[in-house]
Structure 1
Amino acid sequence: MRNWDPVYSLSSYRRVRRTGLLRASPPFVLAVGFLCLILLGTLLLWLPIASLRPLTLFQAFFMATSAVTVTGLTVVDPASQLSQFGQVVLILLVQLGGLGFVTFAVISAITLGHKMSLKHQALALEAFNQTSVSKIRHTAFLVFKTSIIIEAVAALILTLWWWRDLPLGTASYRAIFHAIAAFNNAGLSLFPSSLAQFVADPVTILMVSSLIILGGIGFPVLGDIVKKKRWTRLLPYTKVILLGTLTLNLTGFVSIWLLEFNNPATLGALSVPGQALAAWMQSVTARTAGFTTIDITQLHDTSTLLIIMLMFIGGGSLSTASGIKIGTFIVLLAAVYSYIFHKKEVVLLKRSISPDTVQKSLALVLVTTALAFCSVLLMTIFEDVPFISILFEVVSALSTTGLSRDLTPHLSLPSQVLLTVLMFVGRLGPLTLVYSLATRKRSRVRYPETEFQVG
Structure 2
Amino acid sequence: MNLQNIGIPEQFKRIVLTPPRILAFSFIALITLGTLLLKLPIATEKEITWLTALFTSTSASTITGLVVVDTGSVYTLFGEIVILCLIQAGGVGIMTFAVLIVLMLSKRIGIRFMLLIQQALNQSSYGGILRLVKVLLIFAFVSEAIGALILMSMWVPEMGWKQGTYASIFHSISGFNSAGFSIWSDSLISHNTNPVILTVISTLFVLSGLGFTVILDLYYSRKFRELSLHSKLMIIGTVVINFVALIVIFTLEFTNVKTIGQMTLSDKLFNSYFQAVTPRSAGLNSVDVSSMEDASVFFTIILMFIGAGSTSTGGGIKLTTFIALLLSVATFLRGKSEAVILGRTISDSTIIRAFAITVILMGILFSTVFIMMITEDASFIEILFEAVSAISTCGLSMGITGELSSVGQFVIILLMYFGKLGPLTLLFILAKPSIRRKVRYPYGEIITG
TM class by shorter chain equals: over 0.9
Q: Does 1:448 align with 2:429?
A: no
Per-residue Cα deviation, 1:400-448 (whole angstroms, up to 9, x for no partner): 0000000011011101100000000000001201211223313413211
Corresponding residue of 1:10: 5
Range moving further from structure 2, 239-248 or 441-450: 441-450
Q: Does 1:437 align with 2:430?
A: yes
Corresponding residue of 1:65: 58
SS of residue paired to 1:316:
coil
Aligned partner of 1:418 among 404, 411, 414: 411
Aligned partner of 1:136 among 119, 129, 132: 129
The separation in 1 between residues aligned to 2:403 and 2:337, in whole angstroms, is: 52
1:46 CA displacement:
0.3
CA distance 1:11–1:226, shift in 2 (3 Å): same
The separation in 1 between residues aligned to 2:132 and 2:239, in whole angstroms, is: 24
Residues 128, 139 of structure 1: 8 Å contact kept: no
SS of residue paired to 1:352:
strand
Q: Does 1:193 align with 2:186?
A: yes
CA distance 1:424–1:247, shift in 2 (3 Å): same
Give the number of aligned pairs: 446
Residues 256, 279 of structure 1: 8 Å contact kept: yes
Aligned partner of 1:325 among 309, 318, 339: 318
Corresponding residue of 2:270: 277
The separation in 2 between residues aligned to 1:63 and 1:256, in whole angstroms, is: 30
Aligned 1:198-277 pairs, distance under 5 A: 198-277=191-270
The separation in 1 between residues aligned to 2:105 and 2:336, in whole angstroms, is: 52
Identity %: 38
The separation in 2 between residues aligned to 1:14 and 1:390, in whole angstroms, is: 42
Structure 2 alignment gaps of length 5 or more: none
Corresponding residue of 2:306: 313
Letter in 2 for 1:27: P
Per-residue Cα deviation, 1:340-399 (whole angstroms, up to 9, x for no partner): 112221112111111111111000000001111111111111123211001000000000
CA distance 1:22–1:371, shift in 2 (3 Å): closer
Corresponding residue of 2:291: 298
1:15 CA displacement:
11
Per-residue Cα deviation, 1:299-340 (whole angstroms, up to 9, x for no partner): 111110100000000000000000000010001111111111
Letter in 1 for 2:171: H
Corresponding residue of 2:106: 113
Letter in 2 for 1:184: N
- The alignment yields a C-alpha RMSD, in angstroms, of 1.8
1:22 CA displacement:
6.2
Residues 30, 61 of structure 2: 8 Å contact kept: yes
1:230 CA displacement:
2.4
Q: Does 1:127 align with 2:112?
A: no
SS of residue paired to 2:345:
strand
Aligned partner of 1:352 among 345, 358, 378: 345
CA distance 1:382–1:226, shift in 2 (3 Å): same
SS of residue paired to 2:340:
strand
The separation in 2 between residues aligned to 1:377 and 1:110, in whole angstroms, is: 47
SS of residue paired to 2:17:
coil
The separation in 1 between residues aligned to 2:412 and 2:16, in whole angstroms, is: 30
The separation in 2 between residues aligned to 1:449 and 1:22, in whole angstroms, is: 35
Per-residue Cα deviation, 1:35-89 (whole angstroms, up to 9, x for no partner): 0000000000000000111111111110000000000000111111110000000
Aligned partner of 2:82 among 80, 89, 94: 89
Corresponding residue of 1:4: none
The separation in 1 between residues aligned to 2:356 and 2:15, in whole angstroms, is: 28
The separation in 1 between residues aligned to 2:129 and 2:372, in whole angstroms, is: 41
1:267 CA displacement:
1.3
The separation in 1 between residues aligned to 2:111 and 2:232, in whole angstroms, is: 33
Per-residue Cα deviation, 1:114-152 (whole angstroms, up to 9, x for no partner): 222232122111112223332111011111111001001
Residues 382, 414 of structure 1: 8 Å contact kept: yes
Question: If the length of structure 1 is used for normalisation, what is the TM-score?
Answer: 0.95
Residues 102, 108 of structure 2: 8 Å contact kept: yes
CA distance 1:293–1:8, shift in 2 (3 Å): closer
CA distance 1:40–1:442, shift in 2 (3 Å): same
The separation in 2 between residues aligned to 1:419 and 1:437, in whole angstroms, is: 21
The separation in 2 between residues aligned to 1:428 and 1:346, in whole angstroms, is: 28
SS of residue paired to 2:128:
helix
CA distance 1:382–1:15, shift in 2 (3 Å): closer
Q: Does 1:400 align with 2:393?
A: yes
Corresponding residue of 2:144: 151
Aligned partner of 1:374 among 367, 381, 401: 367
Letter in 2 for 1:274: D
Q: Does 1:172 align with 2:158?
A: no
Structure 1 alignment gaps of length 5 or more: 1-6
1:278 CA displacement:
1.1
The separation in 2 between residues aligned to 1:131 and 1:328, in whole angstroms, is: 15
